[in-house]
Structure 1
Amino acid sequence: RNILSNAEAAAKTISFYEEDVLVPFTGGYVLSMLVDIAIAFHRSFDDLRMIEPTLIVSAARLYEYAYGQIKAQLLRKPWWMRCMFKYTVDMGWRRFEYQQGRGKRHPDFLLWHLLDMLIAKPVRQRFGGRVRCAFYAGARLSFEISRTFIGLGMPILNCYGQTEAGPAISVNRPDDNLPASVGKPLAGVNVRTEHETSPMPPFKGGCGELLAKGPGVMTGYWNNPAATEAVLDSEGWLHTGDKVHIDAEGRIFFIGRMSDIIVMQNGEEISPAEIEAEISADILFDHAMVIGKGRPFLTALILLNKEYWKKLAKQLKLNPDDLSALREKSAKEAVLARITKRLSNYSAAVQIRRITLLTEPWTVQAGLITPSAKLKRTNLSMRYAEEIEQIYSTLA
């Protein structure tokens, strides 16, 4: 009942057609059967060209991977082609904002069909060329990546949920898509916040734990009443453990897991997920984990992409295969400069002061990330406890 009611509510968020094909990277199996559309299973990202899906349900990692490929190719193109790509993305984003009722019409929209054919369409062809709804959930996707794909005509729709809720709680719709949010609740799902705290930038209103209630919410954990009681109250509200802001129009803005929020030495609260997503949008980095709980400033563990680390090391005249190169001052300064540039629009409180460079892969098998590429912070903190302590102990 939970899963079916959730799929039925999700089916009301978009229209479905006979020619639709769904690729479920992370879910949507019940939904496809409910609305009677084809479902196709992939072996790799490259299979999308052959499958030509119209609908995709995936984790953010899919778009991070594709974005990395695009950026890598752009680096090999002449400057004027990189400028043309940026102009196309900028124009596409303005068109999107206009279509969503949040922007003005611009005369240069007349050039869109030409730029779409030359620049945007080849990118969409990587996904098969027919995608009209690309849902993603799980780990946060940086605004830069969302803006790039949306600007190229890829309708990326952020959504949010938990297994205990069936799983979807909220979703952005094609005609009501605000990428900074995780959308409005599904039909039949009620939400509210509890234990509200003072506003966290950029939100002006209070932020608190998200509570959800509806037919998709579970009745409890199997044979575990203690765990059930910890998340389900007597009125049937599911305590998600996620900190959010809900605006006047009912949109949910995900801030982060309450257990992940960093409370710094001065009492300031920082959500690491957004900062990490912004850093990881750089093709030099595979992952980043921000650290700073109870500390005077933020630092980060940075997992380098081996291919691009080799290129950077060569520029710095370092041996990329020598682990000691990761500790070289020139390497840390070069990487930190890239991070600082990416965070230039953020407040001083969230700037990264020091970093630890790593090349050892963070894998599911090692227990360092989840299958949807979310960081297992406790395990990572234990694995690199010595490196973390060294960062802070060597600074005044």
Structure 2
Amino acid sequence: MNQIRTIQDLVKTFKNYGNSPFTSWKENEITKRISYAKAYEQINAYSRGFLEIGLQPKDRIAIFSSNVPVWSILTLAINNACLIDVPRGHDSDAEEINYILEHSKAKIVIVENEAVLQKLLKHKHAGVELILSMDKMAKVKHVSQIEQVGYKSRIQLPKSDRDYTASIIYTSGSTGIPKGVELTHGNFMSNAVAALHRIKIVREDKFISILPAWHAFERIVKYAAMVGGAETFYTVQKALLEDLISENPSVMASVPRIWERVYNGVMKKVKEQSGIKRSIFNLMLKTSIDSHKKKYPAHPARIFGKLTTKMLDKMVFAELRSKLGKKFRLGVSGGSKLPDYIDDFFNVAKIELIEGYGLTETSPVIAVRVIGSKALYTVGPVIEGVSIRIIDAETGKEKSHGEDGIIYIKGPNVMKGYYRNFEATRKILDRDGWLDTGDIGHLDKQHNLVISGREKDIVVLSNGENVNPVPLETVLSRSDYIASVMVTGHDWKSLGALIVPNVETLQQFCQKNNIEWQGKHIEKVLDQAPVRELYRREIHHYVNNKAGFKDHELIREFRFISEPFEVGRELTATLKLKRNKVNELYKLHLESMRKSLHGENR
């Protein structure tokens, strides 16, 4: 396993797994599979095919696609031939596609379908020599033609090296122009092997894949599964619950939003119960959570908590576990911070959910919890081969354990740099190989890393107080009436919030309070005094001094956003807020809040 230094080495191991399933998916309700032996055959055919049509090592192939099985085959084949993939999602817009192609100088573009092709054709791309498609389309060559060329070819594949670039992954552009993160074969493989050691993947495991294929988190999960000889089943969000039961996966890696939906599904059923039953459930859940925080087994809270946990198990959690499938053993959360209440919920439900942390620039995993460690609210220790420092932003000196500072990382997972962007690289990667993550955190006594926030997200009020908006947004998101929220207020007297209402629960509120529902003109509903008062109460209920928030962290004003936040617009592929984009899109809302807080509307 430790001999896997390149993606070429990884592909060679596929011969060891023979007819074991490599990938699987449903097509017209029928599950289809490709074995490791067949994948090995196809990958090498594609590799030879790409070289046979004239590509040279280090040439770049852009691929715009959703999470489909052929994506892994194609990217493995590209890297197996010492070529470089430039991946991005099918939902990229025409301007993004144009920028990536121009900046990366890709020679071939692979599009998933007609919709992506039409976006591609909105611009002329002088350097693109060939367009290929995954779907069959008129006037565009299908990718299988490259495979067929490869089967007939006897061309020798060049030997790869761990320092060869494997992929240029363009960041989401949440803070401006996208940057191309240049990752090597060694970056990916060192990370995959270390991740496998931490989460103990075995050949009998079956992963269920739901995240964007181009994203580094999803990619490394797939690599780790391959290193372990495990199967990966592809699904989509609307089929996830059904596929969990029918396919019985053992591992699922996803972003916090997916785990929140599981929690919300349970809580929705609870809220449909009578007031007494609902109160009893909430009391038992709180008791069980509190009991897990007591260190001593003989503590009265631990003893009573065991009883309430057993009762909750019979009432709710046994059924919840069954809906994840008979063989489900592990959930992995990454991409953004897992809310503490979700951590508590899954812990009490006896569902192993471990949180990891990383960046695209670190291939991506930096740290992940040890299975069974119960290291709640942390992302666990750093993985093998990775070094960490917590640095004081003002003095540049290393912080003591337990003290927050900027997280710096060094190891075989750290990127080469930003492609064709020396200045941006120099800002975060020093000559000794230490990468400034831009994240704030500390190490606890057990050497688990605790993420506190992101340096660039900190809101600095006009009085100089620094506020991390993420804890506020996390707690507000627990409201039944809030779908999404962004807390803001840089250089303001007080904090404000942009709120996307939960349309379903808001409609129920309106019906109960005889407020006319105008779905097509929801702005008129949101302007009603009882609705605005409802949201003031919700904000105060979740963000107040008793809940542990200081006066300068209280939210004094808010504005509604009538349309839901969307991936590619306000959200990244892993559902994190693009704060700069939100600020740009809703600058009139923000200015209205600022004037109100500063008394300029009077």
Q: Aligned pair 1:6/2:207, yes or no?
A: no
Contact 1:124 1:154 in 2 (8 A): yes
Contact 1:88 1:152 in 2 (8 A): no
Q: Could you tell me which residue of structure 1 aligns to residue 556 of structure 2? A: 353
From 376, 393, 396, give the equivalent of 2:595: 393
Q: CA offset at residue 15 of structure 1?
A: 2.8
Q: Could you tell me which residue of structure 1 aligns to residue 35 of structure 2? A: none
What is the one-letter code of the residue matched to 1:334?
L
RMSD: 2.6
Between the aligned partners of 1:66 and 1:111, the Cα distance in structure 2 is 21
Q: Aligned pair 1:288/2:485, yes or no?
A: yes
Q: Aligned pair 1:163/2:360, yes or no?
A: yes
Q: CA offset at residue 357 of structure 1?
A: 1.8
What is the one-letter code of the residue matched to 2:588?
E
Q: Aligned pair 1:376/2:569, yes or no?
A: no
Q: CA offset at residue 353 of structure 1?
A: 1.2
Between the aligned partners of 1:102 and 1:134, the Cα distance in structure 2 is 30
Q: Could you tell me which residue of structure 1 aligns to residue 433 of structure 2? A: 236
1:184 aligns to what SS in structure 2?
A: coil
From 514, 526, 535, give the equivalent of 1:317: 514
Paired residues for 1:89-108 under 5 Å: 89-90=285-286, 92-93=288-289, 96-97=292-293, 105-107=302-304
1:217 aligns to what SS in structure 2?
A: coil
Superposed CA offset, 1:320-356 (max 9, x none): 4231221233212211211221224122222211111
Q: CA offset at residue 204 of structure 1?
A: 9.7
Q: Could you tell me which residue of structure 1 aligns to residue 370 of structure 2? A: 173
Between the aligned partners of 2:195 and 2:288, the Cα distance in structure 1 is 27
Q: Could you tell me which residue of structure 2 aligns to residue 60 of structure 1? A: 256
Q: CA offset at residue 75 of structure 1?
A: 1.7
From 324, 328, 345, give the equivalent of 2:528: 328
Moved more, 136-145 or 369-378: 136-145
Q: Could you tell me which residue of structure 2 aligns to residue 70 of structure 1? A: 266
Could you tell me the percent identity over the aligned residues? Answer: 26
Contact 1:144 1:281 in 2 (8 A): no
Between the aligned partners of 1:315 and 1:257, the Cα distance in structure 2 is 41
Superposed CA offset, 1:22-77 (max 9, x none): 12333210000111222211123322222222211100110122222222222211
CA 291–320 in structure 1, closer or farther in 2 if over 3 Å, else same: farther
What is the one-letter code of the residue matched to 2:365?
A
2:392 aligns to what SS in structure 1?
A: strand
Contact 1:7 1:34 in 2 (8 A): yes
Aligned residues: 391
Q: Could you tell me which residue of structure 1 aligns to residue 314 of structure 2? A: 117
Between the aligned partners of 1:118 and 1:111, the Cα distance in structure 2 is 10
From 242, 245, 252, give the equivalent of 1:49: 245
Contact 1:100 1:176 in 2 (8 A): no
Contact 1:305 1:359 in 2 (8 A): no
Q: Could you tell me which residue of structure 2 aligns to residue 31 of structure 1? A: 224
Superposed CA offset, 1:93-128 (max 9, x none): 356546999987415525644542332111223322
Superposed CA offset, 1:130-157 (max 9, x none): 4322111123332222212221112221
CA 57–225 in structure 1, closer or farther in 2 if over 3 Å, else same: same
Contact 1:191 1:212 in 2 (8 A): yes
Between the aligned partners of 1:101 and 1:14, the Cα distance in structure 2 is 28
What is the one-letter code of the residue matched to 1:394?
S
TM value normalised by structure 1: 0.90
Between the aligned partners of 2:347 and 2:296, the Cα distance in structure 1 is 12
Contact 2:287 2:308 in 1 (8 A): no
Q: Could you tell me which residue of structure 2 aligns to residue 303 of structure 1? A: 500
2:270 aligns to what SS in structure 1?
A: helix
Q: CA offset at residue 6 of structure 1?
A: 0.6
Bigger relative contact order (CA 8 A; separation at least 6): 1
2:367 aligns to what SS in structure 1?
A: strand
Contact 2:291 2:305 in 1 (8 A): no
What is the one-letter code of the residue matched to 1:123?
L
Between the aligned partners of 1:231 and 1:16, the Cα distance in structure 2 is 33
Between the aligned partners of 1:204 and 1:343, the Cα distance in structure 2 is 29
What is the one-letter code of the residue matched to 2:264?
G
1:181 aligns to what SS in structure 2?
A: coil
1:157 aligns to what SS in structure 2?
A: strand
Contact 2:343 2:377 in 1 (8 A): no
CA 107–208 in structure 1, closer or farther in 2 if over 3 Å, else same: closer
Contact 1:150 1:156 in 2 (8 A): yes
CA 107–290 in structure 1, closer or farther in 2 if over 3 Å, else same: closer
CA 297–96 in structure 1, closer or farther in 2 if over 3 Å, else same: same
Q: Could you tell me which residue of structure 2 aligns to residue 340 of structure 1? A: 540
1:185 aligns to what SS in structure 2?
A: coil
1:12 aligns to what SS in structure 2?
A: helix
CA 54–92 in structure 1, closer or farther in 2 if over 3 Å, else same: farther
Between the aligned partners of 2:394 and 2:509, the Cα distance in structure 1 is 43
What is the one-letter code of the residue matched to 2:538?
R
Between the aligned partners of 1:388 and 1:129, the Cα distance in structure 2 is 48
Q: Could you tell me which residue of structure 2 aligns to residue 145 of structure 1? A: 342
2:457 aligns to what SS in structure 1?
A: coil
Contact 1:21 1:53 in 2 (8 A): yes
Between the aligned partners of 1:204 and 1:354, the Cα distance in structure 2 is 37
Between the aligned partners of 2:195 and 2:463, the Cα distance in structure 1 is 43
CA 195–204 in structure 1, closer or farther in 2 if over 3 Å, else same: closer
Give the number of the structure whose alpha-carbon radius of gyration is greater.
2
Between the aligned partners of 1:189 and 1:389, the Cα distance in structure 2 is 44
Q: Aligned pair 1:271/2:471, yes or no?
A: no
Between the aligned partners of 1:100 and 1:215, the Cα distance in structure 2 is 40
CA 51–347 in structure 1, closer or farther in 2 if over 3 Å, else same: farther
Q: CA offset at residue 82 of structure 1?
A: 2.3
Q: CA offset at residue 295 of structure 1?
A: 1.0
